[in-house]
A and B are shown apart, each in its own frame.
Chain A
């Protein structure tokens, strides 16, 4: 055999496979390492402190956001959307035209119509319609602007909450607070930039993903603080460990982490470094800001707080204190608004009244308290649920309910905004005579998100993050700023 043949014979299948694998591996490595080039000065500054305050795209009016989410979906027909025509149809069978082609969460067959269970009046100079379920809010009606034709395409809690907070009904995307802190950082470096406070007894159905950071570096995820007991678990020093010792330990760990970051450029390492240092600073700053006992009695009475217990009122007071100290985004979740009528607690004429009492004074107090501290114009307050409720009486499995209740309704519901430079006293959006479909000023969830970003000085189309080969943004591929209230 010639030398050539001998050479060819010596190249076995093994050689081929080995070389292919190394070859493919080299291709992959080139791709991965391509992103490991020397970072630009901006990237380096970002790397050293991902939460450093940054300039918005254009000068905006708001510096912080307090988002009040009523998990379960509050009934707009008992709170803000006054429908006298619906009262006339009370207990009548629902016309077929409203049922055709519609999917309901629980309603089956032909339900009856349920008239509004509250009395409505026009309030303040703006003439906003607010029911007697919210007397205190009625007194600050002129600070609010209502969106009465917000619509969504999700009629179940978890996907709808995800849609409202991450811009898509599926898991995996960052929440509004994460996008905001990713875009703007936060002013106070001793506190988290995105704080979450819950009340009402349970976490919202979508779980912690509604304040998750999705594909953004996890430094931007919401930090859940408790309003009862230790505000953040495991923050205080264990016995025998002094604060100085803690500081030395953390410095040593972070020196090693910095080396790791130089080697691998993994943003999660930065998160780890940042969170350790932040936790150290938070040991002092968090107990101080989360302690409502130092507030004067007048403030406690204004909010109606319950010191020592978890309550929405406590959380509102905490929200004010956090924003006052320069926290960028405070997210409040209150559970228990799912007024199906299966139980006394979720009857629209009984349980809902109690829930309203729990939020009425605190929200009004929050607005007034921010106003007197000169913070209202720079703090955007957003209130709403994840969808609305039907004008029809719920009839689960076509049977009569023990109490009066409404099913989930995605087509039209009400949200309101206050502060943050929003033009107050406006009602934008209208539903038909029975509150079923939007007829004017239809607003999508993405429109609301675009408006929140706009008030903070950010263009929702420009705040993007490269992931899976394309740029992503909070508003997905749509959304228009609601120009009539934005400024």
Chain B
């Protein structure tokens, strides 16, 4: 019997669409039919009321079944249920009176009340399902917002940031509270305030103070995404690695609500992870200004000369060009390259024999962030033309004939962050450029006795 009630309840969100659509529609068509232009709509009102009211009865039944399963905010549920019953009654009365062709004034009043009642019932029903924040003015915070907060609140051992209210609570708000709040309690669990977190839910307590690592919350967020019971559910936004560790830190400390970071120092793993420096790359140096897409005809004609042109990403109109596989590009091709000077942020012309025209063309690419001219015939003279590339962050000139004479030119590249000079004459001098990581290469691995030791049975 229980399962029949449960199954009936499951149909409530389905059936409810009928009265929500048909009953107000009956009212609207009835009102319209009072004008000569829409007189023909009069015939539709009774059928609409019949189907709508029957469906409303079905919604009521399934609604009772669904409500019996619990999990909904009592106050809101009572409002919804009460007005739902009222809507059904008004619908039936309207039907009765409409069929009896009663006084239009009464019917006007009834239909108006019907539209209002059904709309309000539906609105409350939506809130029961999706939470009060459904029509929020702002979208919920994205992952990066929460993690950025974590990084900004200085995680040093003397920090006064509150572990729960400054770090854990915003994370729960962003990723968990949508389904575990006052209006919606999946698994009979609320995560929106300390009291309710400690209460736990259908599957017991969230935090096990005697064995914190075995706490239900931790077990669920550490399961693989395909395992049963994994939280957050697969179709929702997932927790980042660091967010999992943050919750672990807090729970292992006994889920304190009133301690600061200084009083509950983070585990070594978290400190290490926070200190880790990500590698910088082209996607960190891209221009912030957006730009309209380059002309396809220009790209097509350049590709005929041997340039391979792609955008840096489908979401961006900035371009990355490589000459991979080519050993020479016609001067006319180089000349045309300037047409894309506003777009090209990366150029790899390694192994190509560069003419003066080629270098002039490269120097005209003012938006270049990364330039690779490895193993080309670039020399000290040629580098002079490149000094105009003010936005350059990364320059690769390995295997070229550059000497220390180029050093002064390279200092003119104000935004340069990394320089690769392996196999050039620049490795002989002690090349120092302020704020630039210079890689001279020539790495060596020492000869070890184990390099030649073959292990056999003793």
Tell me if A56 counts as interface (CB < 8 A to partner B): yes
Contact with A along B367-394 (1 / 0, CB 8 A): 0000010100000000000000000001
Known A377-B279, A426-B272, A478-B224; judge A53-B322 contact (CB<8 A).
yes
Q: Complex formed: what's the CA distance from A421 to B394 in Å?
A: 14
Q: Which of A136, A441, A457 contacts B241 (CB 8 A)?
A: A441
Contact B398 A444 (CB under 8 A): no
Tell me if A61 counts as interface (CB < 8 A to partner B): yes
Contact A136 B448 (CB under 8 A): yes
Question: Nearest Cβ distance between residue B439 and chain A, in whole angstroms?
Answer: 6
Q: Which residues of A contact B282 (CB under 8 A)?
A: 59, 61
Contact A426 B453 (CB under 8 A): no
Tell me if B308 counts as interface (CB < 8 A to partner A): yes
Contact B445 A374 (CB under 8 A): no
Nearest residue, chain A, Cβ from B345: A59
Contact A302 B325 (CB under 8 A): no
Q: Which residues of A contact B418 (CB under 8 A)?
A: 374
Q: Which residues of B contact A353 (CB under 8 A)?
A: 455
Tell me if A188 counts as interface (CB < 8 A to partner B): yes
Q: Which of B226, B441, B443, B444 has the most CB of A within 10 A?
A: B443
Q: Which residues of B (224-269) have their CB < 8 Å from a CB of A?
A: 224-226, 234, 238, 240-242, 248, 269
Q: Complex formed: what's the CA distance from A428 to B242 in Å?
A: 11
Q: Which residues of B contact A326 (CB under 8 A)?
A: 322, 324-325
Nearest residue, chain A, Cβ from B397: A374
Q: Complex formed: what's the CA distance from A176 to B248 in Å?
A: 33
Q: How many A-B residue pairs have CB under 8 A?
A: 158
Q: Which of B213, B241, B313, B396 has the most CB of A within 10 A?
A: B241
Number of interface residues of A (CB under 8 A): 64
Tell me if B331 counts as interface (CB < 8 A to partner A): no
Known A187-B322, A372-B420; judge A53-B310 contact (CB<8 A).
yes
Q: Which residues of A contact B222 (CB under 8 A)?
A: 440, 442
Contact A377 B281 (CB under 8 A): yes
Nearest residue, chain B, Cβ from A462: B314
Contact B324 A325 (CB under 8 A): yes
Known A371-B439, A426-B276; judge A55-B325 contact (CB<8 A).
no
Nearest residue, chain B, Cβ from A190: B325
Contact A357 B310 (CB under 8 A): no
- Interface magnitude class on chain B: 35 or more
Q: Which residues of B contact A14 (CB under 8 A)?
A: none
Q: Which residues of A contact B453 (CB under 8 A)?
A: 357
Q: Which residues of B (402-458) have their CB < 8 Å from a CB of A?
A: 418, 420, 422, 439-445, 448, 450-451, 453-457
Contact with B along A337-362 (1 / 0, CB 8 A): 00000001000011101100100010
Q: Complex formed: what's the CA distance from A372 to B440 in Å?
A: 7
Question: Nearest Cβ distance between residue B148 and chain A, in whole angstroms?
Answer: 13
Q: Complex formed: what's the CA distance from A104 to B450 in Å?
A: 34
Contact B226 A187 (CB under 8 A): no
Q: Which residues of B contact A440 (CB under 8 A)?
A: 222, 248, 269
Give the interface SS of chain B, mostly helix, strand, loop or mixed. Answer: loop
Q: Which residues of A contact B351 (CB under 8 A)?
A: 325
Contact with B along A53-65 (1 / 0, CB 8 A): 1111111110000
Q: Complex formed: what's the CA distance from A314 to B294 in Å?
A: 43
Contact A484 B272 (CB under 8 A): no
Q: Which residues of B contact A55 (CB under 8 A)?
A: 310-314
Q: Complex formed: what's the CA distance from A114 to B312 in Å?
A: 51
Contact B444 A484 (CB under 8 A): no
Q: Which of A61, A151, A357, A484 contacts B451 (CB 8 A)?
A: A357
Q: Which residues of A contact B28 (CB under 8 A)?
A: none
Contact A423 B325 (CB under 8 A): no
Contact B441 A372 (CB under 8 A): yes
Contact A480 B238 (CB under 8 A): yes
Contact A135 B450 (CB under 8 A): yes
Q: Which residues of A contact B398 (CB under 8 A)?
A: 372-374
Contact B457 A350 (CB under 8 A): yes
Contact with A along B152-191 (1 / 0, CB 8 A): 0000000000000000000000000000000000000000
Contact A344 B276 (CB under 8 A): no
Tell me if B113 counts as interface (CB < 8 A to partner A): no
Tell me if A487 counts as interface (CB < 8 A to partner B): yes
Question: Nearest Cβ distance between residue A481 and chain B, in whole angstroms?
Answer: 9
Contact A189 B241 (CB under 8 A): no
Q: Which of B312, B448, B456 contacts A59 (CB 8 A)?
A: B312
Q: Which of B224, B238, B240, B422 contacts A442 (CB 8 A)?
A: B224
Q: Which residues of B contact A344 (CB under 8 A)?
A: 456-457
Q: Which residues of A contact B324 (CB under 8 A)?
A: 187-189, 325-326
Known A187-B324, A285-B325, A480-B238; judge A60-B456 contact (CB<8 A).
no
Tell me if A77 counts as interface (CB < 8 A to partner B): no
Q: Which residues of A (416-430) have their CB < 8 Å from a CB of B?
A: 421-426, 428
Contact B310 A61 (CB under 8 A): no
Nearest residue, chain A, Cβ from B273: A484
Q: Complex formed: what's the CA distance from A151 to B222 in Å?
A: 13
Question: Nearest Cβ distance between residue A317 and chain B, in whole angstroms?
Answer: 13
Q: Complex formed: what's the CA distance from A480 to B230 in Å?
A: 13
Q: Which residues of A contact B315 (CB under 8 A)?
A: 57-59
Tell me if B70 counts as interface (CB < 8 A to partner A): no
Tell me if B278 counts as interface (CB < 8 A to partner A): yes
Tell me if B283 counts as interface (CB < 8 A to partner A): yes
Q: Which residues of A contact B394 (CB under 8 A)?
A: 374
Nearest residue, chain B, Cβ from A352: B455
Known A54-B310, A350-B457, A374-B396; judge A424-B226 contact (CB<8 A).
no
Question: Nearest Cβ distance between residue A230 and chain B, in whole angstroms?
Answer: 21
Known A373-B398, A478-B225; judge A483-B240 contact (CB<8 A).
yes
Q: Which of B226, B279, B311, B454 has the most CB of A within 10 A?
A: B279
Known A372-B442, A441-B241, A480-B225; judge A60-B325 contact (CB<8 A).
no
Question: Nearest Cβ distance between residue A419 and chain B, in whole angstroms?
Answer: 9
Q: Which residues of B contact A377 (CB under 8 A)?
A: 279, 281
Question: Nearest Cβ distance between residue B316 and chain A, in whole angstroms?
Answer: 6
Question: Nearest Cβ distance between residue A242 and chain B, in whole angstroms?
Answer: 22
Q: Which residues of B contact A364 (CB under 8 A)?
A: 445
Tell me if A32 counts as interface (CB < 8 A to partner B): no
Q: Which residues of A contact B420 (CB under 8 A)?
A: 372-374
Q: Which of B241, B312, B374, B448 contacts A484 (CB 8 A)?
A: B241
Q: Which residues of A contact B273 (CB under 8 A)?
A: 426, 484
Q: Complex formed: what's the CA distance from A440 to B273 in Å?
A: 14
Tell me if B286 counts as interface (CB < 8 A to partner A): yes
Q: Which residues of B contact A190 (CB under 8 A)?
A: 325
Residues on A lying within 8 angstroms of B by beta carbon are: 52-61, 135-136, 139, 151, 187-191, 285, 302, 304, 324-326, 344, 349-351, 353-354, 357, 361, 364-365, 368-369, 371-374, 377-378, 421-426, 428, 439-442, 444, 457, 477-480, 482-484, 487
Task: List 7 additional A-B contacts (Cβ < 8 Å) besides A373-B422, A424-B276, A440-B269.
Answer: A58-B314, A135-B448, A350-B456, A374-B372, A441-B241, A457-B313, A487-B278
Residues on B lying within 8 angstroms of A by beta carbon are: 213, 222, 224-226, 234, 238, 240-242, 248, 269, 272-273, 276-279, 281-283, 286, 308, 310-316, 322, 324-325, 350-351, 372, 374, 394, 396, 398, 418, 420, 422, 439-445, 448, 450-451, 453-457
Cβ-closest 4 pairs across A and B: A372-B441, A326-B324, A374-B420, A59-B283
5 A–B contact pairs at CB < 8 A? A326-B324, A354-B455, A361-B451, A372-B422, A483-B240
